Amino acid sequence: MASSSADAGPIPSKAPSVDVYDVKHPIPEASEDVAVAYAGQLDGENTWTKKEQRRLRWKIDLVLIPIFWFNVTLGAIDKVTTATGAVYDMLEDCDLTGNRYSWVGSVFYRLPIAKTMCVASILWGFVLIGTGFANNFPTLIALRLLLGFLEAPIVPGNLIVLSMWYTRKEAPLRTGLMYTGLSVLIKGPLGFAIGTIPGALTIAFGFVIGIFLPDSPVKARFITEREKMIHVERMRADQLGIENKTFKPSQMWETFRDSKTWLMFMFNIFISIPNGGLTNFSPLIVKGMGWSSQQAVLLTMPSGIVQTLSSYICNGGVFLCAMYLPGKHVRTAFIVFGIMVGMIASVFLYTLPLDAYNSRLGAMFVSYFYLGPYIVSLGLISANTAGHTKKVVTNALIFMAYCVSNIIGPQFFKSNQAPLYVLGMASILGSYVLSLISILLYSSYCFVENEKRDRVDAARGETVHQDTDFKDLTDLENIHFRCEYEGAVLK
């Protein structure tokens, strides 16, 4: 497998002038990827140029990245509206006594994966508008449960679509651009506009998704037939495929047998526990330090800056290493770096004197650094999972892990420990430690697996393996596949 799929293949000095080819695309068999219809049709005089490739990538970026960004950001704004409302009168209005508010944060993540991002976004908006009118605990719990159900397609859907459009080298930067903490900066000035404004925006954006987001590159209307061929060829060397509509039980069972699945499942539980707690309780923590409700809402905004910096630093670092240190993607190294930053902050958050309000506030902001490692891990999952059914099942399991951690996280924040929530602070520190252990185990497993395959794969020096390209093979079935973790991975 090549170390860079984007630049593979000879590039002639002049491209053919024909834009759309009169070719008959073969119909893929059930076991094959949809890309088979466009694979292998750009040989000889039809080979693409670097200029065409750059233009195609820009077209993809300009269409997909804004959709992904709004998809993630609007959802992030919507689901933390209760955290904003908590510093006003919502706790009293909805009778959120004892640990009921912790369950309002937890219940959002209790339901399984849905299938359509467009419909889910539209329904999400209507439910969110209804949340603004909730005036009791049962109603609020029911609405939050529905929001959890409707959020289910967002993260897995984004990752699956992203893996169809970007190579391993390109994906980290785009993932970092998609997932940021900017929702907090938007949420702060909005205050407690809990339903009407965010809900209406989400409904409108649901229609945007339905109109502009293609199901796959093969069905995209914003690129030409020739550009579809170019895209398929530039994705070939990653051995990940694009899409296969046939559900394959064997790939599902392989997902459950794969050690990588469960190591990353545990990592995603641990790394997102701070998200579950801090997302729901940070305004209450800040208010408990002596600031007013309005000030507490605004003082949560720096956490969004920290999250965004974390995402840009970690994902940008992976991308730059891929660009300037070919074969050295060092994804795990940036995950470990982000974990260490957050861990150090959480140590201060747990050990600083309870009356050191300003220092604790600063430590709380930096403890949001978990976002960068989390986003890099999502890209790692996509890069190390082949076979469309296996991708879907793996992403579903990873999202379930995210949901479990966000159910667990708020439960460490006990109402009788307000406003400092000592147990909650300890849970953040513990989650960082466990995240570090699990990602190191994952990296070690990938290293051993790659070494084993290097010894078996006599043809590892080839650029393209046409015997396995677009056959919808899994990463375990395909002997040419290499896992990404620390260093050179594409053979």
CATH number of 34-456: 1.20.1250.20
Q: Is the pTM of this model over 0.75?
A: no
Tokens, residue 293: 């409700």
pLDDT in tens, 408-438: 888 888 878 877 788 888 899 999 999 999 9
Residue 356: DSSP 8-state: -
Could you give the angle at which helices 196-212 and 117-131 cross, rounded to 10 degrees?
Answer: 170
Residue 140 CA to residue 157 CA, distance in Å, equals: 27
Residue 145 CA to residue 115 CA, distance in Å, equals: 17
Provide φ and ψ at 203, rounded to 5°: -60, -50
pLDDT in tens, 58-67: 999 998 888 8
Query: Residue 351 — pLDDT band, cuts 50, 70, 90?
Result: confident
* Nearest residue to 128 via CA among 206, 211, 182, 212: 206
Q: Is residue 18's pLDDT more than 50? A: no
DSSP string, 325-351: STT---HHHHHHHHHHHHHHHHHHHHH
Residue 456 CA to residue 238 CA, distance in Å, equals: 19
pLDDT in tens, 237-262: 666 666 666 778 888 899 999 999 99
Instruction: Centre a 10 Å sphere on the Cβ of residue 215 and count the other Cβ atoms it contains.
Output: 12
* Nearest residue to 322 via CA among 479, 175, 110: 175
Residue 280 CA to residue 101 CA, distance in Å, equals: 9
Contact status, residue 77 vs residue 384, Cβ threshold 8 Å: no
Residue 81 CA to residue 128 CA, distance in Å, equals: 9
Query: Residue 19 — pLDDT band, cuts 50, 70, 90?
Result: very low
* Nearest residue to 372 via CA among 314, 432, 333: 314
Contact status, residue 49 vs residue 15, Cβ threshold 8 Å: yes
Q: Is residue 2's pLDDT more than 70? A: no
Could you give the angle at which helices 422-456 and 331-351 cross, rounded to 10 degrees?
Answer: 160
Q: Which of 120-124, 259-263, 314-318 has the highest mean pLDDT?
A: 259-263
More reliable by pLDDT, 327 or 286:
286
What pLDDT was estimated at residue 334? 92
What pLDDT was estimated at residue 457? 66
More reliable by pLDDT, 295 or 105:
295
What pLDDT was estimated at residue 12? 39
pLDDT in tens, 360-385: 888 888 988 998 999 899 888 888 88
Contact status, residue 151 vs residue 274, Cβ threshold 8 Å: no
Which whole number is the average pLDDT over 269-275?
Answer: 90
Q: Is residue 267's pLDDT more than 90? A: yes
More reliable by pLDDT, 211 or 78:
211
Query: Residue 122 — pLDDT band, cuts 50, 70, 90?
Result: confident
Residue 318 CA to residue 173 CA, distance in Å, equals: 8
> In which element (H, E) is residue 372 found?
helix 371-383
What pLDDT was estimated at residue 469? 60
More reliable by pLDDT, 332 or 478:
332
pLDDT in tens, 177-208: 777 766 666 655 554 444 455 667 778 877 88
What pLDDT was estimated at residue 198? 60
The position carrying tokens 């080819």 is 21
Contact status, residue 304 vs residue 185, Cβ threshold 8 Å: yes
Contact status, residue 106 vs residue 145, Cβ threshold 8 Å: no
Q: What is the mean pLDDT of the chain?
A: 74
Torsion 74-276-143-117 (CA) sign: positive
For the chain, count helices (H), then strands (E): 21, 0
